[in-house]
Amino acid sequence: MLADCRGFVFDLDGCVWQGDALNPGAAETLTALHRAGRGVAFLTNNSRARSQDVRTKLRRLGLEWAEHTLTPLEILGQVIAERFGPSRVLVIGAPELEAVVAAAGHQLVSVADFRKATVVAVGNDFDLSYERLGAAARAAAAGAPLVTPNVDTRLPIENGDFLPGCGAIVAAVSAAAGVAPIVVGKPEPPLFRIALERLGVAAAQAAMVGDSVESDVAGGRRVGMRTVLYAPAGAAPGAADVVVRSFAELARLAGVR
Ligand SMILES: [Mg+2]
């Protein structure tokens, strides 16, 4: 099932790592895949992470060869360019979101100039105000497509507590404007599709490995990849094409150990 896969795309949180430590056997299996000439890419749905930060962390944790890391933030500007061409973008979100949109060649529109926006990009915005919410909703209602890194409604913090996530703000804009958002992150196709492009591997020859059925398995299936659920505690057969309890098991199935 996995022995002939030419590319492997790995989810990070809960799969490759937990917080600041790699999961058991991850370093050995990932490095063995890389040395065997299989393509290896990593992706996360974190709406504020930049790909270079993810790459730096992987290298610090011992995967010095890690190269292909994708985050919704990194590809958002590319997705806008592919779908709508160079755009005038109203950004409601963190400075990182403004920076990636501008870096992709788009023109930023100020809140006061919201009527000039041809695209609205909404991320988690710690400086959200009624004025900013209103500008985003009115620009979207006037026809500017609403684009977002993800629709996760909560941002988990310590001790099981949370802050409102990107998806909560997108929901407000979407409700007021009466339009549905275009989601760049998992389980929608763009992050998976661009990971396959970076690896130069067709979906049918690649496997998506992750710990979430709703996000990793569903998203991988949608683009035609084989799917592997990483479930140390086990899972029902059929939850994914393959269920593995460990990275050692994955290495055996992939034929690298
Ligand atoms: Mg995960």
For the chain, domain boundaries: 7-45+186-254, 84-183
| Distance from Cα 135 to the centre of ligand 1, integer Å | 33
Q: For the segment 102-126, what is each residue's pLDDT rounded down to a tens digit?
A: 999 999 999 999 999 999 999 989 9
Structure tokens at 251: 């290495």
pLDDT score of 26:
98
Distance of CA 243 to CAs 38, 186, 232, 248, Å?
A: 20, 20, 9, 13
User: 84-183, what's its fold?
Assistant: Rossmann fold (3.40.50)
| Distance from Cα 90 to the centre of ligand 1, integer Å | 30
Question: Would you place residue 209 in the very low, low, confident or very high pLDDT band (cuts 50, 70, 90)?
Answer: very high
Question: Would you place residue 202 in the very low, low, confident or very high pLDDT band (cuts 50, 70, 90)?
Answer: very high
Lowest mean per-residue pLDDT among 107-121, 131-145, 147-161 = 147-161
7-45+186-254 has CATH 3.40.50.1000 classification:
yes
| Distance from Cα 45 to the centre of ligand 1, integer Å | 8
| Distance from Cα 191 to the centre of ligand 1, integer Å | 14
**Residue 153, phi-psi category: left (phi > 0), alpha (psi -120 to 50), beta (remainder):** alpha
Average pLDDT, the chain: 94
pLDDT score of 257:
83
| Distance from Cα 91 to the centre of ligand 1, integer Å | 27
Q: What is the mean pLDDT of residues 138-163?
A: 89
Do the domains at 7-45+186-254 and 84-183 have one common CATH topology?
Answer: yes
pLDDT of 160 higher than 80: no
Active site residues: 11, 13
pLDDT of 175 higher than 80: yes
| Distance from Cα 118 to the centre of ligand 1, integer Å | 33
122 contacts: CB under 8 Å, gap ≥ 6: 91, 92, 93, 136, 146, 147, 148, 166, 169, 170, 173, 181
pLDDT of 49 higher than 90: no
| Distance from Cα 27 to the centre of ligand 1, integer Å | 17
